[in-house]
Structure 1
Amino acid sequence: MKNRRERGGLFGLLARNYLLFTLVLLLLAGGVFALWNAWLLNVYQPADWPGLLGDHALNEGSYERLRHYLKGAGDAFAVYGADGRLVYATEENFDPHCPPEVLETVVPYGSSVETQAFEKLAEDGSRRFLVIRHFYGEGADGQEERVDAALLDQEYRVIFGGLGDGRSRYTPEEYAYLSGRRFPEDQLIRAEFTDTQGERRTILMREKRMGTEESYQSYLAARWIWLLFLPLYLAAAGAFIVWMRRKIGRPLRRLNEAVEAQARGQMVRVGDCGGPREIRQIGESFDRFADRLAESEGERKRLDEGRQKLIADISHDLKTPITVIAGYVDAICDGKVPPGEQEPYLRAIQSRAQGLTELINAFHEYSKVEHPQFVLQLERTDLCEYLRAYLAGKYDEIDLAGFTLEISIPERAVFCALDRMQFRRVLDNLLSNALRHNRLGTILFFELTQEEKTVLLRVGDNGDGIPPERAQTIFEPFVVGSEARSGKGSGLGLAITRRVMEGHGGEIRLEPHPRPGRSTEFVLTLPRMEG
């Protein structure tokens, strides 16, 4: 078993092959991406800001000559003087006046700064603004990174943190440039320079962010390159399928062959079918299922034998009285019995006929309670009053039989859902068995107790008791006090009793350890009704 576990499971097999397949796909995707990237670089050229800043025309104030550095449709720049006055702009949507304090909030050219701004509502309904700046730079120790964060109220006052610029409050214009909301679809950077007249000036450079319509059109223009990925993917997937078919398909076919053989009625076992751990476990489960099926087949044969025994018992119980009746009738008809001596024979015939009638009635009752459509007519009944009335009606019969009755029934009402007629049959069966199988002077016990949701009725006696070999099968049909079935009764009474109790939602059991002073004790359990 350990060796089979060490081979690994289905997850490990799939994981290994998946990683291999993924690696192949990554290599294919990398090659296609390289072609696609080369195409995009050829199609999309960003603005040449380094060339613009290095051109002498910028210092000379010949700003119109700098337009050729703008490549995209959304590229633009504007030049502001030291007082924030707009000197030149390639487009009209730049602010005509932008104070230096506002310009300082724009990310400087050449710096690696990423700014994010978020707006949310506080519990009092006022607005809050969270600004996060991520600085990437190279210090004395090499690459370094810093994150500054500031929380502003709706008046743009800093209430927590800071961005490292020493400000405790921003104007709406400063926050608009700081958060990028002034030009939400563009990326804005600034650079400072001194013109030929010695005046300090600031240039704002703006270009479209990636993901805008222009960039999207560029992506669409290069989509044909990705079509190469489809045939390459299909080839890799085909190779992967063939490999997995060898690893998984073979043991699955073996399992399928075993299932088909089982369907044909052949008891087979799979054993070690190979493959991943999970498939081997299915094979082991199949073997266990085959074993259970064999056990079920054995149980079916046992039930068939029981059914045959049942038929034999019925035949025996019917044959014996019929044989006696036929023998006596033949003797009378053949003149072997003188007329004056026929009465004892007729009495015997009458007795056997009555016994046969009782046996047939018992068969009839047993067939009714075992029928799937057997339904009880339940009604709300005070069980205490019902038992008192029943035992009062049976008192003379018990007394004439030489038995003593001890009763323990609560004074207060205990309600249950009863079919009065069928529950009377339950009590009749238990009482008749006690009277039939015990000697004179036996004490009969009827004791009723309550539990939280059930009612317990204990019916017992201190007579001869039930043989231990019969106790386990006492509720089976045709079980009587003798293996030879020579005792009185049909052996169906307790089987009928159990079925009726189950129809009431309760049960009946033979107590293996009766209470002191009792040799036999049946415990009847019924659901209790409230009220």
Structure 2
Amino acid sequence: MKNKRLPGSLFGLLVRNYLLFTLTLLAIAGGVFCLWNASVSRLYRFTDWDALMGDPALYAEDYDSLRPYLSGKGDAFAIYDGAGTLLYASADGFDAACTPEELACVPLWSSNTGVDAFEQTGEDGSIRRLVVRYTYQQDGQTMDVMVLDQDYQVLYGGLEPGKDTYTPGEYQYLTGRRFPGGSLFRDTFYATDGGARTLLLLERSLSDPSADQLYRSSWRIWLLSIPLYLLSAGLFIWWMGCKIGRPLRRLNDAVNAQAEGRTVRVGDCGGTREIRSIGESFDRFSDRLAESEAERQRLDQGRQKLIADISHDLKTPITVIAGYIDAICDGKVPPPEQERYLRAIQNRAEALTELVNTFHEYSKVEHPEFVLHPERSDVCEFLRAYLAGKYSEIDLAGFTLEISIPEQPLFCALDQPQFRRVLDNLLSNALRHNRLGTRLCFALSCTDTAAVLRVADNGTGIPPDRARHIFEPFTVGSDARSGKGSGLGLSITRRIMEKHGGSISLAARPTPGWSTEFILKLPLDSSR
């Protein structure tokens, strides 16, 4: 108890919880900010296209493993085979098939080029398309110009030698209008199977509407602070209720219980120092009242039970003896019948003597000065000799006996007369309370530290409600005290086993094949 932590004061509890709640709110704000910052950082992170194109997974066609290279603003890539069939796309929107000419219109990643396109409608409704390609070099910038009509025929200039017409798809890929708000590039590589592949790289700009939408939606992360605040506030309210409200309620319940004659402890309610001090003072006062009342009731109940049990066990034989004597003295018994009456009186007197002797033995073993005189004995040999002497009694009673005793000796410190009394009590109970033909079993075994004796039978068994109290004084096999046994035998048996340093118990679940099984344990004597 020296290391028991003392409770704090009420003022200290309020200060600590206020500071802890403030720190919790700051932690919530910091955590939400970190989540928002991570989301925005991912949005503004650019795709490392060079690392993606240099990854061996690209050539091994393990395209899913390339997704971590992509930024959070909507960049994507697609893989086409030599015939222009889409093999893989990291996002929706790519065409399922492209002609080689369409793919050739996409600028190469390594070309450092850019394309601008302008459209103008004439007075006659015709459309002219101006396409300008910029090539950036170390010594400056070059520019190629091309004019297309509304049917995509080249009217002036050109970007590719010998190409004088374009399809709508080629025009979209050439000018980047296939993916508005993004830049499209291509690269060619060969897969491990030797097949040519075209890699399309779609790079979204931060001004793209989808990227702007992602940025605006990132602010929704701050909405997490509302449920987190409500959750933390609820937890702190519950915690304060536990630390203050619960102890006060227990104090109130204890006061009401004391007024009703019941006792409730409150000293360990877990409150603050002031509340716990009140509870401990109340407990001391309540304990003194409860101890005196419990002691008085225990003494009264014990005395009443002892008197009732002894008077019941003595009353029956005394009543029979008195009745027979009165009948003989009053001349109501014919002379030929008097011997039978006298024999009955003798039998009752012997039963009464046995009962008194049992009371004497019980009082003796329960006396604080009762001691054993143990000697180092072989339990196996002792048990064989005992059962050999009892065999005729068991056989005449119509019972069968099963014995299991190991060949090697098991030495224990035994007071042989007292241990014989233990076995006598168990055997007499089995013979008295079971039918003819019942099998008895004495099985001896050992553990590392104890000899274990199992005494069992397959008779009527002990009712469960009686089994819980079978070792208590004056407990018999049924609620009706029929005079068969004093109910003290097993109490004496338990006391003797405890004096030997061992134990006796009734198996809650006997070994299959047996209805009643007592387990006796004696510590092994390893002194030699």
Output the TM-score relative to the length of structure 1. Answer: 0.48
Output the TM-score relative to the length of structure 2. Answer: 0.48
